[in-house]
């Protein structure tokens, strides 16, 4: 599918034309989610995992006003090195402004979902979903990721909403938006760093085939919403909720004290959690992204069989 202002790499173009599985990837995790050079190394490893599991990776970003679906190694390196200086955070609201003014933008879950849908890619893999922030009843700080899921037909494979968020309010908001939440092998909502939480998803599904069939039926019915597939972090890499929750609360308090709000709050809090856990949270983040990539690729493979 050709859309003005979007450049799709030859490899991704060919895969889509041949009905081969493609998995979209965001670039905010590269530019703002991890320090250099771990961010670039993680991105390359994620792409490698997707290829090993039978799909084609399509990392999405905006460079010099050009939306690119399928960043090459040089472009990923550029994102990783310049993320905290010249690369902005691109959500739905930013895309047109960044393109028109030839800016650089690392795509969030919301923007990546939208661009993936424009390019004809059904499956998108990330670390954790944005959501309703703690204290949102006072600040109205709710990630655009949730609204995007409510109106863009993309399947997001992740480790649940980021644990720094208000998980029950996030689930309520997704329900309001008509988004189906699926637990991969679990009825419990994963909490990013932790494999379990006190909350439940809508459905448990144990195989990639079952998940692919559900998404396929949703498309056949013409239901114009996304689908959220929550994959628990492998238990050997998790940080238990009783350990990580006090750390998150401290990081959120620090953000409030320092006056950090809006789109700057998530990277600030995640960086603070990394400091307070002496790097353990970053290691867990990387492992869960790798696991998500494997599952997403396998779902994309199954989805192609149904077309």
Return the higher-pLDDT residue of 265 and 225.
225
Which pLDDT tens digit goes with each residue over 42-78?
A: 999 999 999 999 999 999 999 999 999 999 999 999 9
What does the alpha-carbon distance between residue 147 and residue 84 come to, in Å, rounded to a whole number?
Answer: 26
Structural domain for 175, as ranges: 6-305
261 and 214 Cβ atoms separated by less than 8 Å: no
**How many residues are listed for the chain in this entry?**
307
Cα atoms found within 13 Å of the Cα of residue 229, Cβ hemisphere only: 33
Which pLDDT tens digit goes with each residue over 275-290?
A: 999 889 889 999 999 9
In a domain, 131, yes or no: yes
Do strands 56-63 and 105-107 pair parallel, antiparallel, or not at all (unpaired)? antiparallel
How much is the pLDDT for 139?
A: 80
pLDDT tier at 2, thresholds 50, 70, 90: low
What does the alpha-carbon distance between residue 232 and residue 126 come to, in Å, rounded to a whole number?
Answer: 13
How much is the pLDDT for 51?
A: 98
Average pLDDT over residues 134-138: 81
Do strands 56-63 and 66-69 pair parallel, antiparallel, or not at all (unpaired)? antiparallel
How much is the pLDDT for 249?
A: 85
Cα atoms found within 13 Å of the Cα of residue 150, Cβ hemisphere only: 15
All residues at 6 or more sequence positions from 86 whose CB lies less than 8 Å from its CB, including other chains: 104
Cross-strand bridge partners of residue 23: 57, 123
Q: How many domains does the chain have?
A: 1
Give the rounded percent of residues in the chain with a pLDDT score beyond 70. 99
How much is the pLDDT for 189?
A: 96
In a domain, 234, yes or no: yes
Active site residues: 26, 162
In a domain, 232, yes or no: yes
In a domain, 33, yes or no: yes
Six token digits for residue 9: 């790499």
Q: Is the pLDDT of residue 226 over 70?
A: yes
Torsion sign across C-alpha atoms 47, 50, 51, 56: negative
In a domain, 1, yes or no: no
In a domain, 66, yes or no: yes
Give the rounded percent of residues in the chain with a pLDDT score beyond 90. 79
In a domain, 109, yes or no: yes
What does the alpha-carbon distance between residue 227 and residue 110 come to, in Å, rounded to a whole number?
Answer: 13
In a domain, 21, yes or no: yes
Could you tell me the CATH number of the domain that includes residue 163? 3.40.1790.10
Return the higher-pLDDT residue of 135 and 192.
192
How much is the pLDDT for 1?
A: 55
Q: Is the pLDDT of residue 131 over 70?
A: yes
């Amino acid at each position: 599918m050709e859309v003005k202002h979007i450049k799709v790499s030859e490899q991704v173009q060919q895969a889509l034309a041949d009905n081969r599985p493609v998995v979209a990837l965001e670039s905010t995790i590269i530019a703002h989610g991890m320090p250099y050079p771990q961010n670039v190394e993680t991105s390359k490893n994620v792409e490698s995992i997707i290829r090993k599991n039978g799909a084609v990776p399509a990392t999405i970003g905006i460079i010099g006003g050009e939306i690119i679906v399928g960043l090459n190694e040089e472009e990923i390196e550029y994102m990783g090195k310049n993320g905290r200086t010249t690369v902005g955070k691109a959500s739905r609201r930013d895309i047109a402004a960044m393109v028109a003014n030839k800016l650089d933008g690392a795509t969030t879950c919301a923007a990546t979902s939208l661009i993936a849908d424009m390019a004809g890619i059904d499956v998108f893999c990330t670390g954790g979903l944005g959501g309703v922030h703690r204290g949102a009843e006072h600040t109205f700080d709710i990630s655009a990721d949730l609204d995007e899921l409510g109106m863009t037909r993309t399947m997001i494979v992740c480790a649940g909403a980021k644990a720094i968020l208000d998980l029950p309010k996030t689930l309520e908001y997704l329900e309001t938006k008509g988004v189906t939440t699926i637990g991969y092998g679990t009825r419990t909502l994963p909490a990013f760093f932790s494999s379990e939480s006190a909350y439940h998803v809508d459905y448990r599904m144990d195989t990639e085939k079952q998940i692919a069939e559900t998404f396929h039926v949703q498309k056949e019915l013409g239901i114009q919403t996304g689908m959220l597939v929550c994959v628990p972090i492998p238990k050997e890499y998790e940080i238990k909720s009783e350990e990580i929750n006090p750390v998150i609360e401290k990081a959120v308090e620090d953000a409030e004290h320092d006056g950090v709000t809006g789109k700057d709050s998530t990277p600030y809090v995640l960086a603070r959690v990394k400091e307070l856990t002496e790097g353990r949270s970053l290691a867990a983040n990387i492992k869960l992204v790798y696991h998500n990539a494997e599952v997403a690729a396998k779902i994309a493979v199954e989805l192609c069989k149904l077309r």
